Amino acid sequence: MTSLDLVLERLSGVRAVGRWKWTALCPAHDDRSPSLSLTRGTDGRVLLTCHAGCSFERICSSLGLTPRDLFESSASRRGRAHRDPIETFAAEEARTVWTLALHRARDDSFISSDVAVYDYVRCRGLEQSWETGPFGVLAEGMCLPHAVAHWPRHGHNLVAPLHDAHGSVVNIQSRCITGGSPKTLLPKGSAARGSLFATRSGRELLRDSSFGGGKVILGEGLTDFLALSIAAPVPVLSVPGASFFAAAIGPWVAGRDVYLAADNDEAGEAAIPPTARAALERGARNVFAITWPEGCKDACDAIAALGAIGLSEFLECELLAEGGADASE
């Protein structure tokens, strides 16, 4: 994998603007309009510039990379691979982290210690997601793999697992509960392309594409996944960022109506057409784009504005045959 591949797969809202030039959402701050510029150097190096002022070092840290990872050509990386291999994060480690995090979340004896996590969840209107078990808790003092051991110290205490096309846990993503940047993290050395958050029925769908009815929601992001897990009446899958939408399409779409619950922003809107095409090519019956209520950017905004019951009623309407905007064109 080249330095450029390492960077592109970890960014959201990626858009090509020329030969070897891209824009994307900066991972080092709460970026709503893509302010990160990427350029590939003639020797394979990746040059990053945040037009909002984030430093190169901070951007690298937010991506789970070091400056050396970006300032080496693919040839030099291959030349040193035998003596200084790039850190990797295996699926087995992800499963270990998720087991620990879920156990802590379900253990009542830790509630007082982890009150900041539950305050965050409650303030976002997501407290009912605890009942469905889609998130876990990390804290300092836990025996964690090196790649994620620093997360709790920096407020990345809320975590959820990412699954492969067969429903197995292969990665994990964290959400910062203290308002710091970056908002989300993937373990250094991990790959998220093609992986999905999944509700219980979503996991059943991944394991058996004939499971359940004919509708499925594909959302965007960890906290939106929690909101949808509370309110959606159908299986929910969710990608870890807008740039991962199309890559997550798999056999599970065949014969189904797929509802894309992307964020109402530039990155989310840009992801809908290629994702719809990918779904139709894999046999989806129809593809619709959920249009969030006025003033709402995403499912989290909708649950905050409408409450859990209101979001559930809204989704019921969107899932009617005539509901949702047709994204097939």
Please state at what angle helix 299-318 crosses helix 222-231, rounded to 10 degrees: 40
Name the residue type at position 275. T
Which stretch of DSSP H or E encloses residue 272?
Answer: helix 266-281
Residue 301 sits at φ, ψ, to 5 deg, of: -60, -40
Residues 6+ apart with CB under 8 A from 276: 258, 260, 287, 289, 327, 328
Q: In the prediction, which pLDDT does 27 show?
A: 86
Which stretch of DSSP H or E encloses residue 97?
Answer: helix 91-106
What letter would DSSP give residue 85? Answer: P
Q: Could you tell me the pTM of the whole model? A: 0.75
For residue 206, the SS3 value is helix
- Per-residue pLDDT of the chain (329 residues), as tens digits, is 577 777 887 888 888 777 678 888 888 888 888 889 988 776 667 888 888 888 888 888 888 787 877 765 444 445 544 444 556 889 999 999 999 999 999 999 999 999 999 999 999 999 999 888 789 999 999 999 989 999 999 999 999 999 999 999 999 999 999 988 889 999 988 888 899 999 999 999 999 988 877 999 999 999 999 999 999 999 999 999 988 999 999 999 999 999 999 999 988 999 999 999 999 999 999 999 999 999 999 999 999 999 999 999 999 999 985 544 556 55
Question: What domains does the chain contain, in order, with CATH numbers?
Answer: 3-80 (no CATH), 91-185 (3.90.980.10), 197-326 (3.40.1360.10)
Q: Check: CB of residue 174 under 8 Å from CB of residue 148.
A: yes
Paired strand residues for 216: 258
Q: In the prediction, which pLDDT does 11 show?
A: 84
Burial of 234 (0-12, 13-18, 19+ CB in 10 A): buried
Tokens 């719809």 sit at which residue? 276
